[in-house]
């Protein structure tokens, strides 16, 4: 059996356990894939992470079938969550706060599968850089 031919590949950031069909339709409507089936598959796969933003790579094939590849939540989202900030995610909106080294380690360990390193200390430095760019200070 020949491999399926990929026709579209889109990365979306959706609410875990409750993907809005409108967002799916905007990006995938022209592909002819069954949006309700994608929503059901995504919601089932992310039900345990409800309340988080979970990026997904949707691959649509020539026969209108699809495959989902889940990623880890965005670093900025995880930092805001660790700070307890439910505030705005507008571009340029700085979050002020302090992140402990332990919180930094937890975020780095969660992000490790999507980072280009397997070293937790290197991942922590990457996460700390993102935190600094958001106006967050890392303390011991």
Domain ranges of the chain: 6-70, 75-138
Whether the predicted pLDDT of 93 surpasses 60 = no
Point out the least confidently predicted range of 15-24, 62-71, 85-94: 85-94
The model's pTM: 0.80
Question: May I ask the CATH class of domain 75-138?
Answer: mainly alpha
| Domain 6-70 shares a fold with domain 75-138 | no
CATH superfamily for 6-70 is Ribosomal protein L11/L12, N-terminal domain (3.30.1550.10)
- The fraction of the chain above a pLDDT of 70, given in percent, is 91
Which residue, 82, 91, 68, 62, is CA-closest to 124?
82
Q: What is the pLDDT averaged over residues 38-42? A: 96
* pLDDT (tens digit per residue) in 42-70: 999 999 999 999 999 999 999 999 999 99
Burial class (CB in 10 A: 0-12, 13-18, 19+), 107: buried
Residue 11: strand pairing partners:
57
């Amino acid at each position: 059996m020949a491999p399926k031919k990929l026709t579209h590949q889109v990365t979306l950031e959706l609410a875990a356990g409750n993907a809005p069909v409108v967002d799916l339709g905007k990006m995938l409507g022209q592909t002819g894939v069954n949006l309700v089936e994608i929503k059901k598959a995504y919601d089932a796969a992310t039900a345990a992470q409800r309340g988080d933003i979970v990026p997904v790579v949707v691959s649509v094939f020539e026969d209108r079938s699809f495959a989902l590849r889940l990623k880890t939540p965005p670093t900025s989202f995880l930092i805001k969550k660790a700070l307890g900030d439910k505030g705005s995610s507008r571009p340029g909106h700085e979050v002020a706060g302090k992140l402990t080294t332990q919180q930094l380690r937890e975020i780095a360990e969660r992000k490790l599968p999507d980072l280009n390193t397997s070293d937790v200390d290197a991942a922590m430095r990457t996460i700390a850089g993102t935190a600094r760019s958001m106006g967050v200070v890392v303390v011991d």
